[in-house]
Amino acid sequence: MLIIATLLMPDVVFRIPMYLLWRDLNLLNTFFPLWLDSAFATNSFFIFLLIQFMRTIPRELDEAAKMDGCNSLQTLIYILVPVMIPPIITVALLTFMWGMNDFLGPLIYITDIAKYPLSIALRMAMDTTDSAVEWRNVFAMSVISIIPSLVLFFSAQKFFIEGIATTGSKE
Q: Kindly calculate the radius of gyration of the chain based on its CA atoms and give it in whole angstroms.
A: 21
Number of folded domains that form the chain = 1
Question: Does the predicted model carry a pTM greater than 0.85?
Answer: no
**CATH number, domain containing residue 85:** 1.10.3720.10
pLDDT tens column, 10-67: 778 888 888 999 999 999 999 999 888 777 766 778 888 888 888 888 889 889 999 9
Q: How far is CA 3 from CA 8, 47, 61, 62, 71, in A?
A: 9, 12, 29, 27, 28
**Which structural domain range is residue 117 located in?**
18-165
